């Protein structure tokens, strides 16, 4: 693997130039993570002959690294939600997603996803993935015990509650510890193998083959240092992940985030599929957006503190989901943000490795003086204002939920430096800033068909997962499980679409 400019140069090759195909099949799928595996499986189950390429030596992709939360609900509730007594109407889930995604949501994808999400849960179960009918209601990131249902977004915050009834929608495979992705990918890999998919590991797709009439009809893959030619009689599915590991692309498309965040994903999230698709005329959208992880919690009690910027002002409801905390923190001057807590709530955020306590004091005035960070009196006023309303369990500025509102009173107080340049994720020691992955990519229909820069469907070409701009479109409105949910759900649709695509004349 190399990150040189050379590897960033993808072009298409005329199908007609190929003298002899090494393999001719119905459907070619590029990438064996959640999206690609799901696509290959459905294509094979629909009767297609399928070859599945993976650049790594095994299946997994970024789904395999994740906890495999899937954001599911609607249709009255998934089997798991129902079993645990939660009702979740399709309209309620749509209302939530529309509130979360604002102008960036794709209405067709939202509706298609929500209408099929409950069935999608049953599909995951059918693969052999086990879920434990227990709910974790704590404010946490992933259950380190084995509950399978949890809140993974902003559902319980005041702003969202105005528009949608809070329901937990994070579905995570049951296992003590954070191994959901491996469990799911093992199950999916088993199913893919059983379905007769021809899997090619250590194989990198480097070019699409395009017919004179514009139809994508094959790929060139580099295997054992040789270029091999594969024909796709029906369709090619791009599912090789986002571009967060490609520094040339992050500098170009997310220049600010590129500067202060840490790429999170598998090493092959190099944007290969996006660039293959672009070379074939595919349009990309939402390229400026990325997920940002700011796990202020657990422990949840830190939520009782207040986050402030260098002006000494608050800027977000501290009970927001970690991705929304990341979004609002990123907008502060030089991404410098701090948490003030009192003695009762002081603790170390579990997911942040390095963290400076910049001041401890019996009064806010002492905190100000010791930290030397704020204009004189600014933090004192912020705390006084906050406390005045906190006595009434109110937060008129940012609408933190009453559950997390209490006056900051217990001495001593501590000020923690959560500035991006001082922040290191526990799961990536030695790094700097919040973890990030890309949320932009090829513009697709819910079917997985790729839209060209001229607005037409590119025949024979499909995409799913973080190769595309899918369901999740912003960190501001991100809920965990949106990305794996999207990748596997629309991966399946893309596989079905490719399998039934009109074969070339």
Provide, rounded to whole angstroms, the least separation between the CB of residue 356 and its own copies.
22
Provide, rounded to whole angstroms, the least separation between the CB of residue 502 and its own copies.
21
Task: State in Å, rounded, how far the first CA of the chain is from the last one.
Answer: 37
Positions that interact with its own copies (CB under 8 A): 5, 8-11, 102-104, 252-253, 255-256, 258-259, 275, 278-279, 281, 283, 285, 287-288, 311-314, 331, 375-378, 381, 385, 388-389, 396-398, 443, 453-456
Provide, rounded to whole angstroms, the least separation between the CB of residue 154 and its own copies.
15
Residue 490 parent element (H or E): helix 482-499
Provide, rounded to whole angstroms, the least separation between the CB of residue 166 and its own copies.
21
Q: Nearest Cα to 495, choosing from 189, 296, 237?
A: 237
Residue 227 near residue 19 (C-beta atoms within 8 A): no
Provide, rounded to whole angstroms, the least separation between the CB of residue 327 and its own copies.
11
Provide, rounded to whole angstroms, the least separation between the CB of residue 256 and its own copies.
5
The residue (of 137 and 331) whose beta carbon lies closer to its own copies is 331
What's the CA angle centered on 220, arms 248 and 189, to 5 degrees? 85
Residue 237 parent element (H or E): strand 226-238
The residue (of 23 and 457) whose beta carbon lies closer to its own copies is 457
Q: How far apart are CA 174 and CA 313, in angstroms?
A: 41
The residue (of 249 and 499) whose beta carbon lies closer to its own copies is 249
Q: For residues 447, 449, 454 and 456, what is the CA-based torsion angle, rounded to 10 degrees? A: -70
Provide, rounded to whole angstroms, the least separation between the CB of residue 462 and its own copies.
19
Q: Nearest Cα to 264, choosing from 436, 45, 463, 481?
A: 436
Prior bond to 299 cis, omega within 30?
yes
Helices of type H across 202-254: 247-253
Q: 402-436 in b/e burial notation, b at 16+ Cβ within 10 A?
A: eebbbbbeeeebbbbbbbbebbbbeeeeebebbbb
The residue (of 260 and 346) whose beta carbon lies closer to its own copies is 260
The residue (of 65 and 279) whose beta carbon lies closer to its own copies is 279
Provide, rounded to whole angstroms, the least separation between the CB of residue 358 and its own copies.
18
Residue 230 near residue 219 (C-beta atoms within 8 A): yes
Q: Nearest Cα to 462, choosing from 15, 93, 38, 111?
A: 38
Provide, rounded to whole angstroms, the least separation between the CB of residue 349 and its own copies.
25
Strand, coil or helix: what is 373? coil
Residue 216 parent element (H or E): strand 216-223
Structure tokens at 267: 């090493």
Provide, rounded to whole angstroms, the least separation between the CB of residue 292 and its own copies.
16
The residue (of 50 and 482) whose beta carbon lies closer to its own copies is 482
Residue 99 near residue 164 (C-beta atoms within 8 A): yes
The residue (of 4 and 57) whose beta carbon lies closer to its own copies is 4
The residue (of 128 and 377) whose beta carbon lies closer to its own copies is 377
Provide, rounded to whole angstroms, the least separation between the CB of residue 275 and its own copies.
7
The residue (of 180 and 263) whose beta carbon lies closer to its own copies is 263
DSSP bridge pairs for 170: 71, 150
Q: How far apart are CA 124 and CA 111, in angstroms?
A: 20
Strand, coil or helix: what is 198? strand
The residue (of 285 and 355) whose beta carbon lies closer to its own copies is 285
CA-to-CA separations, 500 to 46, 119, 217, 231, in angstroms, rounded: 8, 21, 14, 16
Other CB atoms within 10 A of residue 162 CB: 10
The residue (of 281 and 298) whose beta carbon lies closer to its own copies is 281
């Amino acid at each position: 693997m190399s990150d040189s400019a050379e590897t960033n140069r993808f072009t298409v090759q005329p199908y007609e130039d190929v003298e002899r195909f090494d393999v001719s099949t119905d459907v070619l799928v590029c990438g064996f993570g959640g999206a690609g595996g799901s696509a290959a499986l459905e294509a094979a189950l629909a009767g297609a002959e399928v070859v599945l390429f993976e650049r790594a030596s095994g299946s997994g992709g970024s789904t395999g690294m994740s906890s495999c939360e899937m954001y599911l609900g609607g249709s009255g509730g998934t089997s798991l939600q129902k079993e645990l007594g939660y009702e979740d109407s399709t309209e309620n889930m749509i209302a939530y997603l529309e509130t979360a995604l604002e102008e960036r949501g794709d209405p067709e994808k939202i509706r298609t996803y929500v209408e099929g999400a409950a069935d999608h849960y049953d599909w995951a179960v059918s693969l052999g993935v086990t879920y434990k009918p227990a709910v974790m209601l704590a404010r946490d990131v992933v259950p380190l015990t084995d509950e399978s249902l949890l809140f993974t977004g902003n559902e319980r915050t005041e702003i969202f509650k105005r528009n949608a009834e809070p329901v937990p929608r994070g579905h995570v495979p049951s296992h003590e510890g954070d191994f959901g992705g491996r469990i799911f990918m093992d199950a999916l890999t088993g199913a893919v193998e059983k379905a007769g998919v021809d899997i090619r590991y250590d194989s990198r797709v480097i070019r699409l083959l395009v017919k004179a009439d514009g139809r994508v009809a094959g790929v060139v893959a580099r295997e054992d240092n040789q270029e091999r030619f594969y024909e796709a009689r029906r369709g090619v599915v791009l599912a090789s992940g986002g571009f967060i590991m490609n520094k040339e692309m992050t500098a170009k498309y997310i220049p600010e985030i590129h500067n202060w965040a840490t790429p999170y994903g598998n090493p092959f999230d190099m944007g290969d599929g996006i660039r293959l698709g672009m070379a074939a005329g595919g349009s990309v959208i939402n390229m400026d957006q990325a997920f940002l992880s700011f796990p202020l919690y657990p422990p949840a009690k830190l939520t009782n503190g207040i986050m402030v910027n260098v002006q000494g002002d608050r800027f977000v409801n501290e009970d927001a989901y970690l991705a929304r905390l990341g979004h609002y923190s990123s907008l502060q001057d030089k991404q410098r943000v701090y948490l003030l807590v009192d003695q009762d709530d002081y603790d170390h955020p579990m997911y942040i490795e390095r963290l400076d306590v910049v001041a401890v004091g019996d009064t806010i005035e002492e905190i100000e003086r010791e930290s030397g960070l704020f204009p004189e009196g600014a933090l004192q006023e912020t705390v006084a204002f906050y406390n005045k309303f906190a006595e009434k369990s109110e937060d008129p500025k940012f609408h933190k939920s009453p559950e997390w509102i209490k006056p900051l009173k217990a001495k001593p107080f501590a000020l923690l430096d959560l500035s991006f340049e001082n922040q290191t994720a526990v799961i990536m020691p030695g790094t700097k800033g919040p973890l990030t992955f890309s949320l932009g990519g090829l513009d697709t229909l819910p079917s997985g068909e790729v839209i060209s820069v001229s607005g037409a469907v590119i025949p024979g070409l499909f995409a799913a997962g973080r190769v595309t701009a899918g369901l999740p479109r912003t960190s501001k409105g991100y809920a965990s499980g949106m990305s794996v949910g999207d990748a596997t759900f629309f991966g399946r649709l893309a596989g079905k679409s490719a399998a039934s695509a009109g074969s070339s004349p």
